[in-house]
Amino acid sequence: MEVDSDGNGDNDDGNNSDSDEDSSDVDSDTGSSESGKRKKSYEEGTAPKKAHDEVSRPARHFGRTGELWRRFEAIIDAARLNARGEDLKLVKNSLHLIRDFNPSLKGCKSTRGFNNNQTAALLFPASQYDDWVTNPQFQEDLRKGNEVVNPTDYPIFLYKDEFFSQFDVFDGFLQNEMLVKTARMILTGPSSVDGHSGSQHATKQANAKLNEMKHMTIPCIAYISVLLYFALSSQPTFSSGGGAGKFDFNKFYRSIIDLLNNLLMEKKKTELLKWWDKQLFGEPDAKVTDDSSTLLAQMLQQLERVLPPQPASNPAVAAVASAPSTGAVNSQIAGGTQ
């Protein structure tokens, strides 16, 4: 499945027939005799049985077999691909909100990628940046597509301030401002790219609010990285796999997730997620002291230890205590009638 730069996808799944499996494939002249043979063979137990599973049986009431369930999966996949296509289109067309480029990169994607010194400097592998500066032939091979960057040789735009340290390869990794702005664009809306709250006149709820998202996740960071890489590249259509001179976005995405989920990365992952939460959702809500440990609670506890227990002062209890008894009332009524 490929998605072009405008978010449109081409469905290559082929045509699916809506006809029922039991539609007859015999002509009217031989239908009765063939029907008799099939009936006899089933009675004798020699006829091959159709491979209907238990799930497909109820589906036949809707004029379908198990294909109904497979088509439901296709609907879910189509919705997912459509959402990804919209995100790709949004980031591609709004790249000027993420970073100032001079000249502007609006328009055709062929002017991006390694065809443009500005985007090339962001896409080039951090560990090979010196080769980009000193090796013109390498630059030319990348422009012509004769050489493709290894997706696990991470680009410099993943690092904070596009600075890579050979002494600490984790320093600033996945903390670039462009990544944060891309995440804000997708999760909280284009109007919040600079860190301000979303527009009050927005007609559509932001994705983070719609999904009650309050914390960043590792797959989301990897997904944002893919969106930004594609927007910076000159590749006209998005294809998750590599080959034919195309960048392997699937390997790029999976490698980031696998790295951060490595058990040895647990501490760094926790720190990274906390940093992302602060960038996107602000400071966490301050904790409020529990009522049982406040000064007021201590005062009340001290009073209970020093003062003797006081009688109940409930007005309702006092009224009941002062009311005449039922016997007294009855005697007064009896005395009055004599």
Phi, psi angle pair for 246, to nearest 5°: -100, 150
- Whether residue 11 lies inside any domain: the answer is no
Q: Give pLDDT, residue 198.
A: 47
- Whether residue 292 lies inside any domain: the answer is no
**C-alpha to C-alpha distance for 22 and 87, rounded to whole angstroms:** 43
Total domains present in the chain:
1
- Whether residue 226 lies inside any domain: the answer is yes
Q: Are 191 and 202 in contact (CB under 8 A)?
A: yes
235-282 residue pLDDT tens: 888 887 777 778 999 999 999 999 999 999 999 999 999 999 999 887
In percent, the amount of the chain with pLDDT more than 90 equals 28
pLDDT of residue 10 exceeding 80, the answer is: no
Residue 47, classed as helix, strand or coil, is coil
Task: Spell out a b/e string for 189-224, using b for 16 or more CB atoms within 10 Å of the CB, else e.
Answer: bbbbbeeeebeeeeeeebebeeeebeebebebbbbb
101-155 residue pLDDT tens: 888 887 778 889 999 989 999 999 988 877 777 888 888 888 888 888 899 999 9
Q: Which domain holds residue 192?
A: 74-197+212-281
- Whether residue 6 lies inside any domain: the answer is no
- Whether residue 176 lies inside any domain: the answer is yes
Work out whether the CA dihedral 139, 143, 144, 147 comes out positive or negative: positive
- Whether residue 143 lies inside any domain: the answer is yes
Work out whether the CA dihedral 163, 164, 170, 171 comes out positive or negative: negative
- Whether residue 321 lies inside any domain: the answer is no
